[in-house]
Each structure stands twice: as C-alpha cells, then as structure tokens.
Amino acid sequence: MRNSFVKALLQHAERDPRLMLIVGDLGFSVVEPFAERMPKQYLNAGIAEQNMAGVAAGLAMSGFHPFIYSIANFPTLRCLEQIRNDIAYHRQSVTVVAVGGGLGYGSLGYSHHAVQDLACLRTMPGMLMATPGDPLETIAVTRFLTAARRPSYLRLGKGGEPIVHATEPVLESLGPIQVRVGSNRAILACGSILGVAAKAAEATGATLLSCPLWDDSAVTRAAFQATVGRFERLVVVEEHLAAGGFGSFVRECLENSPEHQGRIRCRALRAEVCEHIGPQDQLQAVGGLTVAAMVEALEMAV
C-alpha cells in the first residue's frame, strides 16, 4: 500500500506544484522516486515529527498541500498536539500519512503499534479519515485526498497487502463501499484488515464492504445508517483497540436509530495484544482478529 501511495502521489504532484511530501527521515527504498523527480516538492524533516507537523501547517498556510509521512505511531501520537492546534484547529490542508497502521510493525513492539490512532485522530473537528483496504483503494484514496482542501489522515498498511478489488474503485462520496456481493449478512472492514475479512466473507458467502473514506459529518452518518439498514447482520472489523475506534464510530452513527443497533457486531483488537511482540498475523490472532472470529460473529443469532 505504501508503494501504491507514493506512486500515486508522484503522478499528481507532477501536475500540481502545491503537493509536497515531507518524511521523518524514513521511507527509504519507497520515497526515492518522488525525491529524485520532484526535489522542490520533497523535504526530509529529520527525526522530528512535531516539527514536521508544524512545518507542514506553515506550508499549508502558504498555499501548499503537504503530506507528512512516517511509521504510524510517530506522525500521530508523537505530534498529536501539533495536529490538534496547528493543523486541525486552523483547518489546514495537511494529510498525515501513517504507514503500518495497526500491528504492521508488530515485531518492534508496543512502541511501534498504532492501535489508538483512529480514536485520537477522528476526534479532531473537520478531520477526513482515509483507511484504504488494499492497494487499489490506496490509489483511489490518494487521488481523492490530493483534491481535498482540508485536514486528513491516511492510514496505510506496511506493505504486501493483497489486492481485494477486481478494479480500482470510484470514490465519489464518503462512507462504505461494496467490494463483493453476497448474502444479507455483511462484513464491513476498516483498513488493511480487508484482506482477512475477504477470506471470512468468501467462507460464508457474506457481502463484503470496505470504508476507505469517512468523517463525522451528518451526510456520512446517514450513509452508515442506510448501510446498516440493508443487512440482517453487519460485522465491523478493525485492526485497532475497541475503545473509540471505527466500530465505536459506526455505533455512534446509529444512536438515533435504535432499531439498527442490534444488527451490529464489532470485532476489534483485544487489549492484551499490547503486551505481545511478533509478526502482524500472529498478533492479529492474539488480538482476536481472525477469519474464524469473523465467521463466528456473522453466524451468531440476531
């Protein structure tokens, strides 16, 4: 997904001099093509994520649209105050790009896990959340973000995520999109866990949905209400702790629709995953995000 993002951003930056890529002294072997072809639109801010966010805010105030890029926990949790005060408060066109969202860097331990990022970033007023599920969604989301003049958060996998879509999706609005047609029970995936969700949907014949773009607007909330109303059961899955994450957001969208609340089952990471170190797939199993767990949630009685 990160390779798809850099390639897509480069294509748009060649046509739009306002687009910039700012990295926190990492991403090498991925960002070099951008740096070589667009040196005036590329900046290595060093290992100084708080400063990187502040510089991006200043550039945005000068008419640029910076994308700040680092391992998922660093451009989010480390500089949350700068995102809150410099970017979101002033409604600046800065996109925070987090690579390895969830447990992508699980082998580096809890310091590198990004399992509270959605809860933190979605509370920023006006923040556009971008959580693509595969490389094709990443390309489509990047195109959407380059045209969006608002604060945004792009959460990517570390790399090697399977392609789930048959073709690149067309993103014309925020909210869930359909990936595969199935039964009147559905799985709604947030982010790169889409590949695991696809296996569960295939095993059960369920409909598969993804949510690459969302925010806290009334229009987006209405889209979720309509989506839930279509299905007998909707299982929401996310590689994030349950508190405050995507599942919490979906439930909040239904607060005025109590008839839909019973249709929802949420599957997020169990808190004990934070005590473990290991490859992403192993930590997903520890945290309870498995195909079997999703199938069980789908098959539970309504």
**pLDDT above 80 (res 40):** yes
User: What is the predicted pLDDT for the residue at 302?
Assistant: 54
Q: Mean pLDDT, to the nearest integer, of 250-256?
A: 90
- Starting at the earlier edge strand, list the strands of the sheet with 152-156: 42-44, 19-23, 65-71, 95-99, 152-156, 128-130, 213-214
Domains delineated in the chain? 2-156 (3.40.50.970), 177-299 (3.40.50.920)
Q: pLDDT by residue (tens digit) across 214-231?
A: 999 999 999 999 998 899
pTM: 0.96
70 sits in which H/E element: strand 65-71
Question: pLDDT tens across 100-109, in order?
Answer: 999 999 999 9
pLDDT of residue 256: 80
Contact 97, 53 (CB under 8 A): no
Mean pLDDT score across all residues of the chain = 94
**pLDDT tens digits along 168-213:** 999 989 999 999 999 999 999 999 999 999 999 999 999 999 999 9
The pLDDT, as a whole number, for residue 301 is 52
Mean pLDDT of 93-112: 95
| Nearest partner of 270 among 251, 295, 302, 293, judged by Cα | 293
Q: Cα–Cα distance between 31 and 53 in angstroms, integer?
A: 18
